[in-house]
Structure 1
Amino acid sequence: MTIRSGISGWRYPPWRGVFYPPKLPQRLELEYASRRLTSIEVNGSFYALQRPESYTSWVAETPDDFVFSVKGPRFVTHLKKLSDVRVPVANFFASGVLALGPKLGPILWQLPPNLGFDAGRLAAFFDLLPRSTAAAAQLSTEHDERLDGRAWTTTDADRPLRHVLEVRHASFEVPEFVELLRAHGIGLVIADAAGRWPVIEDVTADLVYIRLHGETELYASGYDDESLDRWAGKVRAWAAGGEPAGARTLSGPAAPSDGRDVFVYFDNDTKVRAPYDSLALAARLGLTPAQ
């Protein structure tokens, strides 16, 4: 059982001179953030395929116990809408994700607000996803010519690889969706987004993944003490293998568990709330970053 509190991304100009010390070089921002927080969600990979040298540099700049979650590309989720994506998924894994080695955490797949629930579409996508780093390395060899000369298709060790899904359409608010995730071992992202998107708190895998986008204003508003206390209580319950009182669930209880990994990422970045809210939650949970 591991609990991590972090942020989504780390390169934000408004953070400079506020969260980041004045005159801190941009190249040192990840090093600074990783010694105050316990995890970061890589979101640049959503917009474009990164390069292996980026991933290897991130490994070198962060403590040994640090973990990155990595966001899958919008080309797969938003443009292709999960259909006919074997090669794009292979390209994603060949872009250097596996270079993170033991610092590779869950893979996040975020669906667009205009994509509704389709059990067949989801099941086919879930069947494609590699469940170990060795399987991901094998799939990465199917990359197309765009990755020629810059592909990373090996892994230093065979480790389990976990995937989580964030949805943003009301049609997902049905028990069948939760049961499908459980059948495939895919984690459900619990997203708080100022009421914009569904809030579903069923546990569907051996981890709980939370994205906090802003309590009252999307990507902007912070979380007050009462809210952070409430989220800390929920995290403790999920981590202990239980369920918070009043959880917004659609299906029956999750399988019994002695404990679960919980990842919490703050995405309310525009007014520099994310890093401070993450630190405040970590303090409530007694989390200490590696140095």
Structure 2
Amino acid sequence: MASDVRIGISGWTYKPWRGAFYPPGLARNKELAYAASVFRSIEINGTFYCMQRPDSFAQWAADTPDDFIFAVKGPRYLTHMLKLRNAKAPLGNFFASGVLRLGGKLGPILWQFPPNFRFNAEKLEAFFALLPRDTDQAAECGRQHDHRLKARAWLQGDRRRRIRHAMEIRHESFRDPAFIALLRKHGIALVCADTVDWPLLMDITADFVYVRLHGSTELYKSAYSRPALERWAARVAAWRDGESMTDGHFICARKPKRRPRDVFLYFDNTDKLQAPRDALSLMRRLGQA
């Protein structure tokens, strides 16, 4: 089966984009539909900041084309506040909140960790064991929700579908071969996160690749130059085609089996309208626009 490359943006509700990326006068409730007509995938940011409701997920699914995929950010309550302690109920709240209403548009779940979260193999092993790997398991996980759930639990999917997970780290302690081995054991993708502040690591740890481009010189703001975009296009093409990708920073000397992989890449340099422009530019270099 051919691999799938989806280039997109992180979020879609940004005031500076109105009248620039979005046409003048476009209603705010039409912004997702417009963005989804340009990009084949978008990260949902709202799930990171607070618990959503099933009707919101249903509306997002209805506003996007049939062949569209959402990446969904896991809640910061779990990763930043609890730091994975007592994770079962909060994880249940997340999966009961309506995530399954995305149906076939549910893509990878992104777990973003704070800069002060250090590598702890035991803690991560326990968390990874809780993560559902398909929608049936996600429904079962959702049944573990507690009283903090905002609305009635949504625990049904249209059919059994696979669920992928990706982990973004922001602390130097993760430059450890044991961390890469742990991700590979559980089939969780290491997010390749490009930023001036955090480790840029490119070890392949799953059957897909997840990339977040935050702005390599100024966090969330700086645009990507033509040479930088060409470099990223070459990396994406190598991952897509199953070729050896050596242009990067790696922790583990042992390379995974060479095979084509799906690639999800999101521009998070959302200030000053950089993300849509850079995403479109990268798509053109990959023959997608």
Instruction: Give the TM-score, by structure 1 length.
Output: 0.96
- Alignment of 1:155 with 2:157, yes or no, is yes
How much does 1:142 deviate?
A: 1.4
Instruction: Give 3-state SS (helix, strand or coil) of 1:231's partner.
Output: helix
Residue aligning to 1:189: 191
The 2-side partners of 1:26 and 1:254 are apart by 45
- Alignment of 1:264 with 2:265, yes or no, is yes
Residue aligning to 1:243: 244
Instruction: Give 3-state SS (helix, strand or coil) of 2:170's partner.
Output: coil
Q: Which amino acid aligns with 1:21?
A: P
- Alignment of 1:100 with 2:102, yes or no, is yes
How much does 1:243 deviate?
A: 3.1
Whether the 8 Å CA contact 2:4–2:261 is kept in 1: the answer is yes
How much does 1:148 deviate?
A: 6.8
How much does 1:228 deviate?
A: 0.5
Whether the 8 Å CA contact 2:51–2:150 is kept in 1: the answer is no
Residue aligning to 1:17: 19
Q: How does 1:106-121 map to 2 (within 5 A)?
A: 106-121=108-123
The 2-side partners of 1:257 and 1:157 are apart by 31
Whether the 8 Å CA contact 1:204–1:254 is kept in 2: the answer is no
Q: Which amino acid aligns with 1:183?
A: K
Instruction: Give 3-state SS (helix, strand or coil) of 2:265's partner.
Output: strand
How much does 1:151 deviate?
A: 1.5
Instruction: Give 3-state SS (helix, strand or coil) of 1:252's partner.
Output: coil
Q: Which amino acid aligns with 1:184?
A: H
Residue aligning to 1:216: 217
Residue aligning to 1:145: 147
- Alignment of 1:171 with 2:173, yes or no, is yes
How much does 1:98 deviate?
A: 0.6
Whether the 8 Å CA contact 1:202–1:253 is kept in 2: the answer is no
The 2-side partners of 1:20 and 1:207 are apart by 31
RMSD: 1.1
How much does 1:116 deviate?
A: 0.5
How much does 1:257 deviate?
A: 3.9
Q: Which amino acid aligns with 1:263?
A: F
Residue aligning to 2:208: 207
Residue aligning to 2:135: 133
Size of the alignment, in residue pairs? 287
How much does 1:258 deviate?
A: 2.8
The 2-side partners of 1:245 and 1:48 are apart by 38
The 2-side partners of 1:272 and 1:175 are apart by 37
Instruction: Give 3-state SS (helix, strand or coil) of 1:68's partner.
Output: strand
The 2-side partners of 1:125 and 1:273 are apart by 35
Instruction: Give the TM-score, by structure 2 length.
Output: 0.97
Whether the 8 Å CA contact 2:236–2:263 is kept in 1: the answer is yes
Unaligned runs of 5+ in 1: none
* Deviations, residues 35-88 of structure 1 (Å, cap 9, x unaligned): 001100001100001111111001111000000000000000000001211000
The 2-side partners of 1:278 and 1:72 are apart by 23
The 2-side partners of 1:183 and 1:55 are apart by 31
Q: Which amino acid aligns with 1:222?
A: A
How much does 1:149 deviate?
A: 4.6
- Identity level (%): 54
Instruction: Give 3-state SS (helix, strand or coil) of 2:101's partner.
Output: helix
Point out the more displaced range, 49-58 or 141-150: 141-150
Instruction: Give 3-state SS (helix, strand or coil) of 1:17's partner.
Output: coil
